[in-house]
Amino acid sequence: SAQTGGSGGTRSVGSAQTGGSGGTRSVGSAQTRGTTCAPPGAAAFAALHCLSGYAFGRSSILAEEIPLLAAAAGASAACIADPFSLVGAHEFVSAARKVGVKPLVGATFELDTGGEIVLVARSKQGYESLSRLVTACHLGEPRLHPLATWHRLEAHSRDLLCLTGGDAGPLNAALAKRKCEQAARLLERLTDLYGRANVAIQIERTYLPWEIAVNQRLLELAEATGTLAVAAHPVLHPRREQFPVQDVLVCAQTLCTVDEVLGRKPRRHPDQPQVPERPARSLNAERHMLTAAEMAERFADLPDLLANTLRFADRCDDDVLPARTRLPTLYQDAEHVLTEAVWAGAHQRYPTLTPALKRRIAHELDRIVRLNFSGHFLVMWDACRWAEEQDIHYSGRGSVVDSVVAYCLGFSRIDAFRHKLHFDRFLPEDGSKRPDIDIDFEAKRRDDVRNYLTRKYGQDHVATVAAIGAYCSRGIIREVGKALGLPDEAIGFLAKRLHGGISADRLEESLATRPELRDSAVCKERFRWVFALAERLMDVPRNMRCHSSGVVVSSRPLCETVPVMWSAAPGVEEDDGNAPNHLRIIQWDKRTAKHYFDKFDILCLRGQDVLSGTERRIRVQDASFSARDIGTDDPEMYRAMRSGELIGIPQSASPAMRQAHIRMRTQDLHDASLVQAGIRPGVGGAVKINELIARRRGKPYTFLHPDFEAILGITYGIIVFQEQVDQLLQTFCGYSSGEAEDLRDAIHKRRREDYGRAIREQLLARVLANGYDLAVAEHVYELVAGFKGYGFAQGHALAFAEISLRSVHCQQQFPAEYFASLLDAQPAGYYGPCTLVNEARTRGVRILPPDVCLSEDGFAVEDVRSDQDPQLVFPNGGIRVALAQVEGLSAATRSRIAAIPKPHRFGSLFDFAAQVRPDRDELENLVLCGAFDRLHPNRRAALWAIPDALRHAHALSPQSGDQPVLPLTLPEPPMPTGIVDFTPEEKALHERRLLGLDVERHLMAYERDHVASRGGIPGAAAKRLEHGRKAIVVGNPIRLRFPPTPSGKRVVFFDLEDETGLLNVTCFDAVYQRDGHAIVCSPYVTLIGEAQDRDGHTAFLASRVFPYHPRILRPGEEASSLPVVTRDFLVG
Spatial contact of 42 and 77, defined as CB atoms under 8 Å apart: no
Calpha distance 749→160 (Å, rounded)? 38
Instruction: Say how many C-beta atoms besides its own lie within 10 A of residue 331's C-beta.
Output: 13
Q: For the purposes of burial, counting CB atoms within 10 Å of the CB of 80, is it exposed (0-12), middle (13-18) or buried (19 or more)?
A: buried
Phi, psi of 808 (to 5 degrees): -60, -45
Range of the domain at 775: 609-801
User: pLDDT digits over 425-458, tens only?
Assistant: 899 888 888 888 999 999 999 989 999 999 999 9
Spatial contact of 698 and 723, defined as CB atoms under 8 Å apart: no
Q: Are residues 1078 and 1061 in the same domain?
A: yes
Q: What's the predicted TM-score (pTM) here?
A: 0.85
* Closest C-alpha among 469, 75, 456 to residue 233: 75
Tell me, yes or no, whether 829 lies in a domain. no
Q: Are residues 1029 and 1116 in the same domain?
A: yes
Calpha distance 758→769 (Å, rounded)? 19
Q: Are residues 661 and 761 in the same domain?
A: yes
Residue at which a domain ends, from 743, 772, 801: 801
Phi, psi of 862 (to 5 degrees): -135, 155
Whether 138 shows a pLDDT value over 60: the answer reads yes
Where residue 230 falls among pLDDT bands split at 50, 70, 90?
very high
Tell me, yes or no, whether 15 lies in a domain. no
Calpha distance 832→286 (Å, rounded)? 50
Spatial contact of 255 and 264, defined as CB atoms under 8 Å apart: yes
Give the pLDDT score at 500.
57
Where residue 574 falls among pLDDT bands split at 50, 70, 90?
very low
Secondary structure of 1050-1094 as H, E, C letters: CCEEEEEEECCEEEEEEECHHHHHHHHHHHHHCCCEEEEEEEEEE
Q: Are residues 500 and 394 in the same domain?
A: no
Amino acid at 777: A
Where residue 583 falls among pLDDT bands split at 50, 70, 90?
confident
Q: Are residues 433 and 498 in the same domain?
A: no
Q: For the purposes of burial, counting CB atoms within 10 Å of the CB of 837, is it exposed (0-12), middle (13-18) or buried (19 or more)?
A: buried
Whether 743 shows a pLDDT value over 70: the answer reads yes
Whether 515 shows a pLDDT value over 50: the answer reads yes
Q: Are residues 939 and 1022 in the same domain?
A: no
Calpha distance 71→68 (Å, rounded)? 5
**E strand or H helix that includes residue 842:** helix 833-842
User: pLDDT digits over 262-294, tens only?
Assistant: 666 666 777 777 776 666 778 888 999 999 999
Q: Are residues 116 and 253 in the same domain?
A: yes
Q: Could you give the percent of the chain with pLDDT greater than 90?
A: 62
Tell me, yes or no, whether 579 lies in a domain. no
Which CATH number fits the domain that encloses residue 71? 3.20.20.140
Q: Are residues 950 and 1011 in the same domain?
A: no
Tell me, yes or no, whether 1067 lies in a domain. yes
**E strand or H helix that includes residue 221:** helix 211-225
Q: Give every CB contact of residue 639 below 8 A, 6+ residues apart in sequence.
A: none
Whether 15 shows a pLDDT value over 50: the answer reads no
Spatial contact of 1100 and 1086, defined as CB atoms under 8 Å apart: no
Tell me, yes or no, whether 1025 lies in a domain. yes
Q: Are residues 915 and 874 in the same domain?
A: yes
Secondary structure of 965-985 as H, E, C letters: CCCCCCCCCCCCCCCCCCCHH
Give the pLDDT score at 65.
94
Spatial contact of 193 and 153, defined as CB atoms under 8 Å apart: yes
Q: How many CA atoms lie within 13 A of 119 on its CB side?
A: 32
Tell me, yes or no, whether 465 lies in a domain. no
Whether 497 shows a pLDDT value over 80: the answer reads no
Where residue 1041 falls among pLDDT bands split at 50, 70, 90?
confident
Which CATH number fits the domain that encloses residue 1116? 2.40.50.140
- Domain total of the chain: 6
Cα dist. 408→117, 354, 401, 482 in Å? 55, 15, 11, 56
* Closest C-alpha among 83, 56, 81 to residue 66: 81
Whether 1127 shows a pLDDT value over 60: the answer reads no
Ramachandran area for residue 417 (φ above 0: left; ψ -120 to 50: alpha; else beta): alpha
User: pLDDT digits over 71-83, tens only?
Assistant: 999 999 999 999 9
Calpha distance 648→654 (Å, rounded)? 9
Ramachandran area for residue 961 (φ above 0: left; ψ -120 to 50: alpha; else beta): beta
Phi, psi of 1091 (to 5 degrees): -75, 145
Give the pLDDT score at 1114.
59
Whether 593 shows a pLDDT value over 50: the answer reads yes
Q: How many CA atoms lie within 13 A of 904 on its CB side?
A: 1
Lowest mean pLDDT among 248-257, 311-320, 1087-1096: 248-257
User: pLDDT digits over 746-804, tens only?
Assistant: 887 776 666 767 788 888 999 999 999 999 999 999 888 888 778 899 999 999 999 99
Give the pLDDT score at 569.
54
Q: What is the DSSP letter of 560?
A: G
Give the pLDDT score at 29.
36
Give the pLDDT score at 887.
94
Residue at which a domain ends, from 482, 509, 538: 538
Tell me, yes or no, whether 276 lies in a domain. no
Where residue 196 falls among pLDDT bands split at 50, 70, 90?
very high
Give the pLDDT score at 685.
67
Residue at which a domain ends, from 518, 538, 558: 538
Tell me, yes or no, whether 1018 lies in a domain. yes
Give the pLDDT score at 12.
37
Whether 85 shows a pLDDT value over 80: the answer reads yes
Q: Are residues 939 and 1018 in the same domain?
A: no
Q: Give every CB contact of residue 1120 below 8 A, 6+ residues apart in sequence.
A: none
Q: Are residues 762 and 862 in the same domain?
A: no
Q: Are residues 973 and 1011 in the same domain?
A: no
Calpha distance 650→204 (Å, rounded)? 58
User: pLDDT digits over 988-1033, tens only?
Assistant: 999 999 999 999 999 999 999 999 998 999 999 999 999 999 999 9
User: pLDDT digits over 20-72, tens only?
Assistant: 333 333 333 333 323 333 344 444 899 999 999 999 888 989 999 999 999 99
Calpha distance 17→500 (Å, rounded)? 56
